[in-house]
Amino acid sequence: MDTARSTLFAKIWDRHKVVEREDGQTLLYVDRHYIHDGSRRAFEVLAEKGLKLRRPDRTFGTPDHYVPSSSRDISAIADAEARAMVETIEVNAARHGATVFGLRDPRQGIVHVVGPEQGLTQPGITIVCGDSHTSTHGALGALAFGIGASEVAHVMATQTLWQRRPKSMRISVEGRLARGVFAKDIILAIIAQIGAAGATGHVIEYAGSAIRGLSMEGRLTVCNMSIEAGGRAGLIAPDETTCAYLAGRPYAPKERDWESALAAWRALPSDDGARFDREVTLDAAGIVPMATWGTSPEHAAPITDRIPDPSTAPDAQRRAGWEAALAYMDLAPGTPLDAIPIDRVFIGSCTNSRIEDLRAAAAIARGRKAVIPAWVVPGSGLVKAEAEAEGLDAVFKAAGFEWREAGCSMCVGMNGDLVAPGQRCASTSNRNFAGRQGKEARTHLVSPAMAAAAALSGRLTDVRRMLAEG
Ligand code: SF4
């Protein structure tokens, strides 16, 4: 391995290389394989081929996509197929000896919330999961990426994965964030600048003083949306924030192992002078609260802006994309973003359902009243319990928000939690694609504080105004 001036990504990649083929494919060793209720087909493939789960001790999961957010009762899942998905992950885990935090386990939640929370996600390791937003785990300095269904079966059988080595890209965000500006605004500003395909073929390393200044929850939000910029993965160098976050977590190394882990983690950050294939820099002070107006995360703009006119798009392809997006969203060019009416609010998803997200939303909701339906869906049972211990549930309920059970919920229209056709939802999730939250649903991506502000005003609102009101 070339340790001279390596990037964080290269260090992890090189340490996990099993073999390289002449066609450029590398067989990588997988340290952790996360599974969820959508993994049923891969277990069926194993059974059809008469194979065993190669490393049950490295396989962890939880049902999240299809679980109800109304209760922990599996009979609340009306769709028989969805119910079977939630049931079989526990059956398959028991059969193969893998660890799954089931629907009634207090540790259940969205797989990308549960992994870090349990201390399973650690610096320097490789993580894969059959879900695009596996990039989330890069926040702790892991190389983590989503894989397809056939690859899930391959990892189950071999604990390895064939991959082509991505390029490297560093996105540095320098300076201090203003009050009312959060990690979600950083990543939306990045995607607005580089585009939804801006990092295609690259692993992104997020760097700079504004990134280092983020809590672990904020870093998880940023890395979560790497895929929305086209990135294969996104990661952040481990530092004291990382170590403090992991200390004492159930699956984090203990005692002497902890000391040697710390030493190994401290050697992981990219070396001074390490070369990246691409570099982008943003000024944190220039970022304001963001909201999306279209059907791609790159259709994002400062809340103080107006909806752009497709005639000003930089090229014909984007012009057509903007026109189609505005037709779907039923919005007119030139409309101020903060004049867009909102029908409902969703605070949750693997992007923004952690304790800090709920605190930020509750700080806005406290003492005020929602004028439209608003849901708060914690990312895990443990986040829910922590929020309740702090009284956040009481704040939300007093403000007229609904306090729900953990799961993916309204992030994705596959579990019964839907935005009605034609309705507009201010959502803390990561995708505003046409139909993502339900047929003909219209999604505006925002931070948790901005989502709470929208719930209170019934339109997209600059949360800084509410902060100023106290
Ligand atoms: S919360 Fe949404 S984006 Fe995250 S894993 Fe669930 S469905 Fe996917």
* Residue numbers of the domain that contains 88: 8-279
Of the pLDDT bands very low, low, confident and very high (cuts 50, 70, 90), residue 350 is very high
Mean pLDDT of the chain: 97
Residue 103 is predicted with a pLDDT of 95
97, 233: one domain: yes
Distance between alpha carbon 268 and the CA centroid of its chain, in Å?
23
Distance CA 186, CA 283 (A): 10
H helices within 102-212, ranges in order? Answer: 111-117, 149-158, 183-194, 209-212
- Cβ(64) – ligand 1 distance below 6 Å: yes
Report the length, in residues, of the chain: 470
- Among 110, 377, 430, which residue has the most ligand 1 atoms within 8 Å of its CB, making it the best to mutate? 110
- Cβ–Cβ < 8 Å for 359, 83: no
325, 257: one domain: no
Q: Atom of ligand 1 at shortest distance to CA of 349?
A: 1
Distance CA 436, CA 117 (A): 27
Of the pLDDT bands very low, low, confident and very high (cuts 50, 70, 90), residue 470 is confident
Q: Is the pLDDT of residue 3 over 90?
A: no
Averaged pLDDT for residues 245-274: 98
CA of 291 to the centre of ligand 1 (A): 19
Averaged pLDDT for residues 212-231: 98
- Cβ–Cβ < 8 Å for 186, 222: yes
Q: Which tens digits make up the pLDDT trace of 140-165? A: 999 999 999 999 999 999 999 999 99
Averaged pLDDT for residues 352-356: 98
- Among 36, 136, 226, 350, which residue has the most ligand 1 atoms within 8 Å of its CB, making it the best to mutate? 350
Q: What is the percent of the chain where pLDDT is above 70?
A: 99
In a domain, 289, yes or no: no
Q: Atom of ligand 1 at shortest distance to CA of 348?
A: 1
The CATH number linked to 358 is 3.30.499.10
CA distances to 36, 106, 120, 308 from 297, rounded to whole Å, are 25, 33, 29, 15
Averaged pLDDT for residues 259-265: 98
Q: Which amino acid is at 38?
A: G
Total domains in the chain come to 2
- Cβ(65) – ligand 1 distance below 6 Å: yes
Q: Is the pLDDT of residue 85 over 70?
A: yes
34, 69: one domain: yes
In a domain, 134, yes or no: yes
Averaged pLDDT for residues 245-254: 98
DSSP 357: H
In a domain, 156, yes or no: yes
CA of 204 to the centre of ligand 1 (A): 20
Averaged pLDDT for residues 58-77: 96
Distance CA 372, CA 286 (A): 31
Residue 1 is predicted with a pLDDT of 47
Residue 381 is predicted with a pLDDT of 98
Of the pLDDT bands very low, low, confident and very high (cuts 50, 70, 90), residue 393 is very high
386, 264: one domain: no
